[in-house]
Structure 1
Amino acid sequence: MNTQSSVPRHVLPVLVLAQFAGTSLWFAVNAVMPDLQREFGWPATAVGTLTSALQAGFIAGTLVFALLAIADRFAPRRVFLVCALAGAGCTVGAWAMVSDFGALLAWRFATGFFLAGIYPVGMKIAAQWYTRGLGPALGLLIGALVLGSASAHALRALGDTLPWPTLMLGVAALAAAGGVSLHALLPDPPGAVARVTTLQWRALATIVTDARVRSSVLGYFGHMWELYTLWVLMPLILATRLQGTTLSWTAFAMLGAGVLGCVGGGWLAPRFGSARVAGVQLAISGLCCVLAPWLMGAPNALFYGWLLVWGITVSGDSPQFSTLTARNAPPQAVGSVLTLTNSIGFAISIASILLFVELTRTVPLGWLLTGLALGPALGLWALRPLLRERA
């Protein structure tokens, strides 16, 4: 088993860059949707439909990968490579058939399915290498995902200078390069747990039966109730004061600031424990939800400061929840437990997004945002056992 000091220096940079490259597939179409809507006359709701198709594909993929124990039965770096290449191929297919909205939906669903072999599997690889110091490692790894998520807004701001086919094909090439580089540059870690040959139903059940796994998993579910819904609503919040390119760049800054929460939380975790770091960030983001009705109308300095703090903390707890789950799950099934947790978490996020987007029609935005605090409240309640033992 590896300690952090024995891990070759190139491992974490390769993992982070490959994760960023692979998960860039998530945003390839969303970033160019304004151009596609103008060119093909699609309604404003098209972006939501495409986003839901990809999220549904990811949920289906993570469920299949977890139930078949793909990341634990096969070499994770090989799974990552195959899924990165397949996801890149799906994005090229989306580019080739982009004028057919039904075909585009199918390609985006397939892209989401193969992302199940990139994001959770990248965490499994990190857990294999970093049996100690996993919190800081996942802080950087998930920070790369957060930056990639926010980059959709930056790409949208650059849409006037880069044609949409270039953006789509460029993202496909980037993802393929990420998969190839990880497979070529990272060997299987020495002392890794032997791969299983049978399905691990009892191990998957630990998200319910094991108190420590259940605590971190429920905390993660509360985090997911809030996270992606805020990401969807952030442009609406900013649109009360900004528009156009300025809005896109500001959304990128506010959401991309989550990298600070991920990396900073990872730096603090060895000293204070992953549960405490996650709990503090979850409490702060929950407070940001509760204060929304008053801060929506605040002076600019307070308004943008509030959104910056929210952007940092709403993402910053995610690596520590994954660290806790990976640390407490059965060693032979870490990949499958993480993948199943992701599947359920993203299903929760879709339900939250659909509910809150529908409620924007009838509920003032400031008061609506307070409903996101239900997630952090659940998460903090669930974390109590781990907080007591300084996990």
Structure 2
Amino acid sequence: MKPGKALTLIVIAQFLGTSLWFAGNAVIPELGEILGRSELTGAVTSAVQFGFISGTLVFALLSIPDRFSPSKVFLASGFLASTFNFLITILPLHFESLLVLRFLVGFFLAGIYPVGMKIASDYYEKGLGKALGLLVGALVFGTASPYLVKALGYQLSYQSIFWTTSGLALLGSFLVGFGVPDGPHRRKSPKFDWNLLPRLSQINSLKSAASGYFGHMWELYTFWAFVPALIFWQMQYAPGTGQNAIFSFSIIGIGALSCALGGFIAEKVGSRSVALFSLIGSGICCLYLWILPQNAGGLGVVFLFIWGILVTADSPQFSTLVAQATPAEYRGTALTLVNCLGFGLTILSIQWTEWLIAVLSIQTAMGLLSIGPILGIFLFKKFQKKEALSRGLSR
């Protein structure tokens, strides 16, 4: 199969599959009313994140994306994730069962997002930054899509949202599982190797790219989780309303365009430059929040859109740097492991920020997300210098 056709199918499938990610967040007001809980954002978001972390850890430790056909892993994972998402609508709804099922959705998303990147890297040795820009853009748009469904059908029940996203994810899994064969550059890892992870940890260029990615992840999902609250802070559109949903979709979804555009720019200036520019820019947005007044009108709206652009554009480029730093036969494991650790940080960030919002303010709490980009940039450059030094000594 030609790389362009394969990438098109993967991008579509990635969008459809990742619509599961924030399906619960789009209906939190309704779920909270049914369950009698006033605040579900942190718990529901973290359940999916913790599931994804657990799934990526298992997939990485067992080297599943490198030992088995990644297309078939994508198919099985998409089928199971959509099934557990659908079960929320037919099993008795309790707080505990909701979290367990959202955890299982997250667990099998581990076979969709990083495995999709692995498949793309098997088709593209050159131009990977552009390919992953389109692929991560699909994830961003998929993440935003439940808000669009909510905005277009405000009276739709939470069941309808879960039915819709489950159907989309199932379709996506079939597109890759039956429509995309393994790529020509795939190098199968013949067996499980306990020494693989320690060997990967010795690659300074991999640690550099991963550090930047971790700083990005500290900020990204917390920003996404609290976009509805930021919209209320700036525009007084309450979470759960149609106006809030359409702005949430737009602010998160615009990141899909910046990911794609960043991929094309990376073809000219390199993935490193795009990743660092975006990470620095989003860190500045965090700091600017401290001086942005409440209800700033058009200024507040424009600021949130700029943040939505910058907060995502570095993700595919850091993933590209991770893939380029890793031998081909271990690329799937490296991508999955870095995703695992990065998403682990999102749980800490979301829970910490939710606590800070309660005791301080959303302005102060979200501004402190700048810690992630600052540390990410520092460690990125530190390990990059070590890599340059080691190369100089080896000559």
TM-score computed with the length of structure 1 as normaliser = 0.92
2:132 to 132, 138, 145: 138
C-alpha separation between the residues in 2 aligned to 1:233 and 1:88?
Answer: 25
C-alpha change, 1:252 and 1:301, in structure 2 (3 Å) is: same
2:13 to 11, 18, 28: 18
- For 1:30-179, list aligned pairs within 5 A: 30-38=25-33, 40-179=34-173
C-alpha separation between the residues in 1 aligned to 2:153 and 2:30?
Answer: 8
Which residue does the alignment assign to 1:357? 354
Question: How far 1:226 moved relative to its partner?
Answer: 0.8
Which residue does the alignment assign to 2:227? 234
> Number of residue pairs matched?
382
Cα deviation code 1:289-338 (max 9, x no counterpart): 11112123484232222111111010110000000001111211111111
1:210 to 189, 203, 216: 203
RMSD: 2.0
Which residue does the alignment assign to 1:304? 301
Identity of aligned residues (%): 40
- The one-letter amino acid paired with 1:23 is T
Question: How far 1:159 moved relative to its partner?
Answer: 4.7
C-alpha separation between the residues in 1 aligned to 2:25 and 2:92?
Answer: 12
Question: How far 1:163 moved relative to its partner?
Answer: 3.2
Which residue does the alignment assign to 1:257? 254
Which residue does the alignment assign to 1:3? none
2:125·2:185 contact (CA, 8 Å) conserved in 1? no
Which residue does the alignment assign to 2:391? none
Unaligned residue ranges in structure 1 (runs of 5+): 1-5
The farther-off stretch of 343-352 and 88-97 is: 88-97
Which residue does the alignment assign to 1:181? 175
SS of the residue corresponding to residue 100 of structure 2 reads helix
Question: How far 1:233 moved relative to its partner?
Answer: 2.3
Cα deviation code 1:85-107 (max 9, x no counterpart): 11111122222114233222222
1:275·1:383 contact (CA, 8 Å) conserved in 2? no
SS of the residue corresponding to residue 361 of structure 1 reads helix
C-alpha separation between the residues in 2 aligned to 1:211 and 1:92?
Answer: 42
2:35·2:95 contact (CA, 8 Å) conserved in 1? no
2:52·2:340 contact (CA, 8 Å) conserved in 1? yes
Which residue does the alignment assign to 1:348? 345
Which residue does the alignment assign to 2:392? none
C-alpha separation between the residues in 2 aligned to 1:319 and 1:102?
Answer: 34
1:206·1:214 contact (CA, 8 Å) conserved in 2? no
SS of the residue corresponding to residue 359 of structure 2 reads coil
C-alpha separation between the residues in 2 aligned to 1:30 and 1:161?
Answer: 16
The farther-off stretch of 229-238 and 318-327 is: 229-238
C-alpha change, 1:97 and 1:168, in structure 2 (3 Å) is: same
Q: Is residue 248 from structure 1 mapped to residue 249 from structure 2 by the alignment?
A: no
The farther-off stretch of 214-223 and 302-311 is: 302-311
C-alpha separation between the residues in 2 aligned to 1:366 and 1:108?
Answer: 29
C-alpha separation between the residues in 2 aligned to 1:366 and 1:34?
Answer: 22
Question: How far 1:170 moved relative to its partner?
Answer: 2.1
Question: How far 1:47 moved relative to its partner?
Answer: 3.9
Cα deviation code 1:247-300 (max 9, x no counterpart): 221122112111122011101111111011000011111111111121234842
1:7·1:130 contact (CA, 8 Å) conserved in 2? no
- The one-letter amino acid paired with 1:57 is G
Question: How far 1:158 moved relative to its partner?
Answer: 3.6
1:25·1:172 contact (CA, 8 Å) conserved in 2? yes
The farther-off stretch of 204-213 and 118-127 is: 204-213
1:71·1:335 contact (CA, 8 Å) conserved in 2? yes
C-alpha separation between the residues in 1 aligned to 2:102 and 2:193?
Answer: 30
- The one-letter amino acid paired with 2:251 is M
2:82·2:166 contact (CA, 8 Å) conserved in 1? yes
Which residue does the alignment assign to 2:376? 379
Question: How far 1:190 moved relative to its partner?
Answer: 2.3
Unaligned residue ranges in structure 2 (runs of 5+): 389-395
Question: How far 1:126 moved relative to its partner?
Answer: 0.5
Q: Is residue 28 from structure 1 mapped to residue 16 from structure 2 by the alignment?
A: no
The farther-off stretch of 289-298 and 244-253 is: 289-298
C-alpha change, 1:262 and 1:206, in structure 2 (3 Å) is: farther
C-alpha change, 1:98 and 1:338, in structure 2 (3 Å) is: farther
C-alpha separation between the residues in 1 aligned to 2:81 and 2:212?
Answer: 30
C-alpha separation between the residues in 1 aligned to 2:27 and 2:269?
Answer: 42
C-alpha change, 1:299 and 1:26, in structure 2 (3 Å) is: closer
1:154·1:249 contact (CA, 8 Å) conserved in 2? yes
C-alpha change, 1:266 and 1:153, in structure 2 (3 Å) is: same
